[in-house]
Structure 1
Amino acid sequence: METAADIGNTLGDEERRLAALADLAILDTAPEADFDELAALAADILGMPQAALSLVDKDRQWFKAKVALPFEQTYRDIAFCSHTVALREPLIVRDASADARFSDNPLVTADGGIRFYAGAPLFHSNGQCVGSLCVLDSRPRDDFDEDKLRILEGLARLASRLMATRGERRKGEIAAKVVEATSEAVVAADREGRIVLVNRAAEDLFGHSSQQALGKSIELLMPDRFRNGHQKKIDNAAAGGPTRLLNTLVELPIKTADGRELPTELSLAPWGDNGSEGGFAAIFRDITSRKLLETDRQETRNFLDAILENLPAMLFVKEARTGRYVVVNKRAAEIMGYAEEDILGRTDSELFGPVGRDYEKRDAEAILSERPFAYESEHTRADGETFNIRTTRVPMDGPDHPRQFVIGIAEDMTDFRRSEAKNYWLARYDGLTGLLNRGSLSSLLSDYVSEGDPFAILSIDLDRFKAVNEQFGHPAGDAALKVVGDRLQELVGRECVVSRAGSDEFVILLRGPRLNDRATTLAYNVVERMAEPIKTRGKVAHIGASVGIALYPQDGETTEKLRENVDLALYRAKKDGRDKVCLFDSQMDAAVRDRRMLEGDLRAAVANGDIKLAYQPVVASSTTDVTGFEALARWKHPTRGHISPEVFISLAEDCGLIEELGALLLDQACNAAVKWPEHLCVAVNLSPLQFRSGKLIQTIQSALNRSGLAPERLQLEVTERLVIEDTDETVTQLKELRAQGIHILIDDFGVGHSSLSYFQVLPFDKVKIDKSFIHEIETSRSANAIVEAVIGIGRQLSMGIVAEGVETEKQRNLLTRLGCSHLQGYYFSAAMPPEEVPAFIADMQAPPVRLASTVA
């Protein structure tokens, strides 16, 4: 283990000298009479107008005492005394202006500057030269002889002793005050073991006043079991002999005035000389409270150290004046790229060179700031890794003076900045293909339009892409999209802008001459390139592309109009059979635009509840009593008048409105039927698409619950297309609905791919014969035969048979005679608004006659 001497030997001469100066604790202290009188005495005895007791610090010369000097201190590099310190012997300069060492010195060249100087060194007790006692004059002097030099040297030795005495006296005064003010119990005893000093803390601890304790044996404080042989140990310790108690901490119980034993910690030291004057002094500490406090402090320290070390942010503390690091945590060391021990005690300039000076400049700004000073910069570690660091610096008061330290907490913003850059990229580009995204495309289109130069826009939609996702999965679909993006970028090079505008939609913007020809050629190249097989994830996908083209400004002078018209061109290309190219044509695309306008009106109508139901009665053929009504959707457009259900229902299916519209019509039908007599049913038509979402059963149950209509009064009409498209899924849902008591009807039977196997898979409650057969039943033998066959099947399967489109008495009589159970058509009534239904029921029926369940 290194000793103090070993450590001192490792220091340089200058460092040892500065350490000796610091030991005197005299720099920057207030004037003291002893030193002032000594400086005045030197000037008076030696006949000099100026004198000073000068102490040479690292970078300055400071005067503890001075006579007729106009300044408190000077820079060291111009100080005459600095030469005296370096020589460690007296220095006499008889004419400074003629001395090459000092002739250019500002202390010499100034008005009234120094011409004569004589200085004798001041030494610390350890032999280090710390300054000089000097006399000065503003004129050259040749009369400073050997006698005066000896006087100056003698006064310098006196000054050195005065500084040493001052230090010892200061330490003694401090010690006396500390002993009296300390919370530690201090007891001193002479060689005979008689107590000669008890401080206030000892009085409180032991319960004996100083009057009671002074002059008494130290045994007053000892438990009986420790008294034997204690005097010999005391004599040995007081004489400086070896003892395990000297300058160590030992746990020792003491006896209090009330007889209790109190566990303490004892520290023992000799005092006085080796003669009769002397003894020992002991410091007693109540170990009980101290141990508790130490434990608490240690836990707190450990907790704070753990927080400091594991803090994810960088934390450091620097000494404000020197800029040297005094605390760094683990994260700070990691980011700086140095070990913690290599950072402490060094400055940023020493660690990081020119960059470090920027850090020190920010420290200075933080010290002057009234608020936390935040700054973000880029830091490159020695290994080349770069960090974005946001540092908040705050000045912190210390034990010596305000704003003694700068504390900094730095956040590693690297990931945040990378994420920010990535987010910026993602905001502009498609994350899958790397092409411009829809937002960037919109901005670019706006820029193109505002610039006014002609350009072409090509809208590309992939054909059969949905099949890739369904057949190979979405990962394969994503891989295919990447290939598509790469192919498009290869086709256009740097000549065009390519964007992914949607899931499988891409857009190309083309500028320059001959736009029509170049755009068309490029479009056909796209179609040809997209038709090539795509190998992805071990599979081969076959897709294609349809392309619509619009030109600015002839096909639209705004971005909205251009997008609308290129979409119309694309729609026509897909409608014409896919893998096609179509340029926008205002006349050819008018029908598409009209359909889109109608789609917008339909959305508004559904949202506003403008689609209403009309009710056509269904009657029992044997009695002509009304058994229910079929709910038929009606839409009266504000400008186009009545729109055919075949048009708007198909449109709702195409644009994804059928579920919302179907739910709306179900609610209307149930709310109307619940007001009718309880034996009447309502029949609602369902689209096959309503079965695909999986929400149909819940929608129907919600409508029944809200209206209070019994399930047995609801009939659902489905077409053969539903069963053909998805038999298994449809049958499952239909069976669940029938299990709830809802009746299922198959509508328009016979006009499609009718198959008797439908009845084997799902026995319907009723079959509706299409009106086309009813219109020809009187004139066509085949129509008559088909109707008779369907009625026969219905009887065999206990199903009701409803004939639609009955318009004449003959049709009614014939259908009744053939055994048709229910009739519907204009012969009985056209569809009517809900408010007319009650009056119609009253006109048509006497008191209701309930029919058998097989035909209800």
Structure 2
Amino acid sequence: MIPLVLTAALAVHRNAPFHWASTMTKQSAELARLQALDSYRILDTPAEASFDEITRLASLLLSAPSSAISLVDADRQWFKARVGIPMTQTPRSHALCSQAVAAASFLEVSDASLDQRFASSPLVNREGGIRFYAGAPLIVPSGHWLGTLCVFDTVAREPLRAEQRLALQDLANLAVDRMESRKARLQSEIAASVVAATSDAILAVGWDGLISFWNPASERMFGYDAARALGSTLDLILPEQLTNTHYRGLRLARAGGETSLVGTTMELSARRATGEEFPIELSLARWHGDGERDGGGFAAIVRDISARRALESDRANARLFLDSIVAHLPAMLFVKDSVTGRYLLFNKAGESIVGLPEAAVIGRTDEELFPDVGAEYRERDRSVLRSTGVETYESEFTRTDGCAITLRTKRIVVTAPDDRKYILGLSDDVTELRRSERHVLHLAHHDSLTGLLNRASLVERMDQLTRSGEEFVVLTIDLDRFKAVNDQFGHPIGDRLLVEAGIRLLRFASDRDIVARVGGDEFVIVAVGACERATTLADLVIAALSEPYSIGRFVAYAGASIGVVVAPRDGQTVETLRQAADLALYRAKASRRGGVCFFSSELDDEASERRMLEGDLREAIEGGEIEVAYQPVVSSVTGQVTSFEALARWTHPQRGPISPARFIGIAEESGMIGLLGTGLLLRACRAAAAWPSDIKVAVNLSPLQFESSGLVKTVKAALALSGLPPQRLQLEVTEGLLIRNVDHTFAILTELRNLGVQILLDDFGVGFSSLSYFERFPFDKVKIDQSFVAKIATSPAARAIIQAVVGLGRTLNMGVVAEGVETPEQMQALVELGCTHLQGFLFSEPQAESAFRHILRPDRDEAGVIASL
């Protein structure tokens, strides 16, 4: 036999699953009951007479002091209606009704205080507590027990008779009916609110074909109010082409036939009150009435899909537009399957870049299309699949026609809605861009005309050499007569000469040497480790650059001056080396054309002295220490002084008199010539204003003064401040000024001439004289340079030149002034040749104004002017 203990254990083991399943079933049933209760939306609602009268009837019928419709929630009982009960709810654990719901049966208790189930309930064991209880279940059509219709008494009672129980249950059923009615009414109200508020048109049509329901949205959609629409046929809103179909379907449905439209959604057209047709989405359902008068028909929900159609059209257009953009994108766009690597999309730009048609690319892999680089492209695809962003590559690609291009490709992984991954690529042909970048980079380091290194690159390379401590020679080369070539042949020929000069210089450069163009006609050769051959190299450069330049049909001649420095002997930084080279070049050009000058400490001393002299000159100009000396100009006919030339003179406090050639050159180079010239002009005009009216004053103008836009204003101001009449002022210009910028110079001279002043051409014959100057501008006088006057007695050529200038002056009605007259013989010869005016030490050296008081006083003896000089 099996022991009793083992038998009991087996019984527990076998029953355990059943108890667990039973518990889960009860929990599910309770959850369903609570959901059913919630669906009635009755809990915590105000009192309603239809429910209150039921509780009153139950109380009267059973002669009970208390009655209630009790609804049992998850944790309470709530009274929808009550009689003789002060509270609206109690905890579920205290409620007798909860036992009725749990038992799912009619519950009656004669004396609750004697019933073990309820004796401990606070509703029972308190003073005046419940003794008698009877509860009939509230069972809704779904079969769920929501609560009870119950009666209470504070005294024990005999059990109810059968007819009393039946009556209480009938009242409970009545309460359920009213709950159902309330729920239906509430749902109808909700439905009515939805129908009234919805943006969709809802309408109903009876079997007679007449509209029987028309909601507000129908009024807005179709443009007819309800009064107009109700009782009308659907012809009101149907386009003409759909009316026959509608009536055939209606007849078929009325006869009991099936229609394919019921229960489906379709798209068709409708018509508004304005006659406008528009697209709609229609859903149909049958409805059945309650009698002959309301025998049923069709209900319809209509949605205006004009906006949706427009959106769909926009989207379709957008797709077409996007397809067009993709097709005509100026960059190659492609999409590849991430698994197979086969091309799925390839646009027109890709066809052009790769040289293959789309049909030849789609469906194939890189290895099949490009055997040489396909494996590399596939590896890039794998790389971007491992990445989380965009990857960019740039590489050379050879097209099918053999043309090599540079492609820059960006790849990114995109994920489709089905989670499949694709590789999206965008490739640009950057061949021209890279070529342009290389060109820009070349221009950044090279001269655009000659292709030699530019100044910035030269400085960079020299800086590297100085840092290394290596010896090297710097030859700073300036072309001689280059400006004359430009003026004679034009700038295009001058540019070609510069190119040729650069080519000649490259002949002498080794692989380590540097050749650069650092200015208009200035070049530099840096010879690395070639200090011992500096002289030879300089001589070779001079010889090479002095050779004729055959450019087209022209032959031009130039030369070169060279300043040479040796590093690190002459400087250990680029700046000091360049300064030393400039000093050497300056000396080479000053000594003679075609010269070579090596930097020395003496040059540096001279430069230091010059800088000191420049500072002193600035102080002298600003302090008004520059004096004015005057030299008379005499008429060869009358012997009278006709004018004085005003000349600047500077006596240094420590150095004594400084040559005008030196300090005026310093003033021009340092930018002080404008201030110096303005002061000299104003002082000369003020002095001349006090002279006799027949004596003029001549003032020299520096070529640099013409580079300022204020020269004419300066002359106007000097005349106005001094009160000197314009016709008594003579302004002297040199031939060198005219060569600088002929058009600009003549424009300014014309403005000055229009003021009334006279214009003299000084030092004629020693520069690059051009007779065309006299054709373009009517000079008042021309001054023959003293170098011709000095040789008038010994040089037939000098005498012939003077004679030619005098003849030119006579023909053009210009005065001719001979400068540097020092002997009576020279004076006699010049008078015989026809010079109209004479100037020189024979008459007087330049002196202070006070030295000529006897000439400048009003009561002077005009007959003896020359003798008095």
Counterpart contact for 1:683–1:716, Cα < 8 Å:
yes
Residues 801-844 of structure 1, C-alpha deviation per residue, up to 9 Å, x if partnerless?
68776989xxxxxxxxxxxxxxx97597249xxxxxxxx89995
2:517 match: 500
Does residue 633 in structure 1 map to residue 648 in structure 2?
yes
Does residue 448 in structure 1 map to residue 473 in structure 2?
no
1:356 match: 381
Residues 124-148 of structure 1, C-alpha deviation per residue, up to 9 Å, x if partnerless?
xxxxxxxxxxxxxxxxxxxxxxxxx
1:785 match: 828
Counterpart contact for 1:195–1:217, Cα < 8 Å:
yes
1:645 match: 660
2:185 match: none
- State the secondary structure of the residue aligned to 2:850: coil
Separation in 1, partners of 2:413, 2:785: 88
Residues 440-478 of structure 1, C-alpha deviation per residue, up to 9 Å, x if partnerless?
222222332232232222333334444554454444444
1:370 match: none
2:304 match: 285
Q: What is the deviation of 1:711?
A: 5.4
- State the secondary structure of the residue aligned to 2:304: strand
- State the secondary structure of the residue aligned to 1:492: coil
2:453 match: 436
2:678 match: 664
Counterpart contact for 1:191–1:234, Cα < 8 Å:
yes
Structure 1 residues 673, 315: closer, same or farther in 2, change over 3 A? Answer: farther
What are the equivalent positions in structure 2 for 1:44-123 lying under 5 Å apart? none
Counterpart contact for 1:611–1:634, Cα < 8 Å:
no
Separation in 2, partners of 1:381, 1:178: 67
Does residue 554 in structure 1 map to residue 574 in structure 2?
no
CA RMSD in angstroms, aligned pairs only? 6.9
Amino acid at match of 1:556: G
Does residue 204 in structure 1 map to residue 223 in structure 2?
no
Structure 1 residues 183, 189: closer, same or farther in 2, change over 3 A? Answer: same
1:524 match: 539
1:264 match: 278
1:35 match: none
- State the secondary structure of the residue aligned to 1:485: helix
Counterpart contact for 2:698–2:730, Cα < 8 Å:
yes
1:614 match: 628
What are the equivalent positions in structure 2 for 1:677-696 lying under 5 Å apart? 683-687=697-701, 689=703
Q: What is the deviation of 1:205?
A: 1.3
- State the secondary structure of the residue aligned to 1:442: helix
Counterpart contact for 2:689–2:723, Cα < 8 Å:
no
Counterpart contact for 1:618–1:630, Cα < 8 Å:
yes
Q: What is the deviation of 1:762?
A: 4.5
Separation in 2, partners of 1:504, 1:619: 41
What are the equivalent positions in structure 2 for 1:192-231 lying under 5 Å apart? 193=209, 201-206=217-222, 217-222=233-238, 231=247
Q: What is the deviation of 1:316?
A: 11
What are the equivalent positions in structure 2 for 1:95-494 lying under 5 Å apart? 183=199, 185=201, 193=209, 201-206=217-222, 217-222=233-238, 231-232=247-248, 249-250=268-269, 252-255=270-273, 261-266=275-280, 283=302, 285=304, 352-360=377-385, 364-365=388-389, 377-378=393-394, 383=399, 385-388=405-408, 419-494=436-511
Separation in 2, partners of 1:599, 1:499: 33
Residues 782-805 of structure 1, C-alpha deviation per residue, up to 9 Å, x if partnerless?
356358669x975xxxxxx68776
Q: What is the deviation of 1:219?
A: 3.6
Does residue 718 in structure 1 map to residue 765 in structure 2?
no
Residues 628-665 of structure 1, C-alpha deviation per residue, up to 9 Å, x if partnerless?
87543234557644422233335667x59697467534
1:759 match: 809
- State the secondary structure of the residue aligned to 1:494: coil
2:766 match: none
Amino acid at match of 2:514: V
Counterpart contact for 2:473–2:566, Cα < 8 Å:
yes
Q: What is the deviation of 1:510?
A: 2.8
Residues 13-38 of structure 1, C-alpha deviation per residue, up to 9 Å, x if partnerless?
xxxxxxxxxxxxxxxxxxxxxxxxxx
Structure 1 residues 548, 625: closer, same or farther in 2, change over 3 A? Answer: closer
Counterpart contact for 2:334–2:425, Cα < 8 Å:
yes
Q: What is the deviation of 1:247?
A: 5.7
Separation in 1, partners of 2:196, 2:759: 106
Q: What is the deviation of 1:527?
A: 3.6
Separation in 2, partners of 1:499, 1:647: 32
Counterpart contact for 2:219–2:225, Cα < 8 Å:
yes
Separation in 2, partners of 1:593, 1:283: 102
TM-score normalised per structure 1: 0.52
Counterpart contact for 1:807–1:825, Cα < 8 Å:
no
Residues 498-535 of structure 1, C-alpha deviation per residue, up to 9 Å, x if partnerless?
333333333232333xx443333333343444455555
Q: What is the deviation of 1:410?
A: 10
1:829 match: 850
- State the secondary structure of the residue aligned to 1:491: coil
Amino acid at match of 1:757: G
Counterpart contact for 1:378–1:388, Cα < 8 Å:
yes
Structure 1 residues 607, 356: closer, same or farther in 2, change over 3 A? Answer: farther
Q: What is the deviation of 1:683?
A: 2.4
Counterpart contact for 1:379–1:386, Cα < 8 Å:
yes
Q: What is the number of residues matched between the two proteins?
A: 613
Structure 1 residues 381, 579: closer, same or farther in 2, change over 3 A? Answer: same
Separation in 2, partners of 1:580, 1:619: 39
1:32 match: none
Q: Which runs of 5+ in 2 are unaligned?
A: 1-16, 22-192, 288-294, 367-373, 761-780, 789-800, 863-869
1:124 match: none
Separation in 2, partners of 1:645, 1:329: 79
Amino acid at match of 1:444: R
Q: Which runs of 5+ in 1 are unaligned?
A: 1-39, 45-176, 367-374, 795-800, 809-823, 832-839, 850-856
What are the equivalent positions in structure 2 for 1:832-851 lying under 5 Å apart? 844=857
Separation in 2, partners of 1:739, 1:760: 23
Separation in 1, partners of 2:598, 2:622: 36
- State the secondary structure of the residue aligned to 2:508: helix
- State the secondary structure of the residue aligned to 2:828: helix
Residues 262-297 of structure 1, C-alpha deviation per residue, up to 9 Å, x if partnerless?
432355687789xx999796846386x889888998
Q: Percent of pairs identical after alignment?
A: 32
Q: Which moved more, 1:643-652 or 1:681-690?
A: 681-690
TM-score normalised per structure 2: 0.52
Structure 1 residues 638, 525: closer, same or farther in 2, change over 3 A? Answer: same
Residues 585-629 of structure 1, C-alpha deviation per residue, up to 9 Å, x if partnerless?
545x579747864895599579968784526497999xx999987
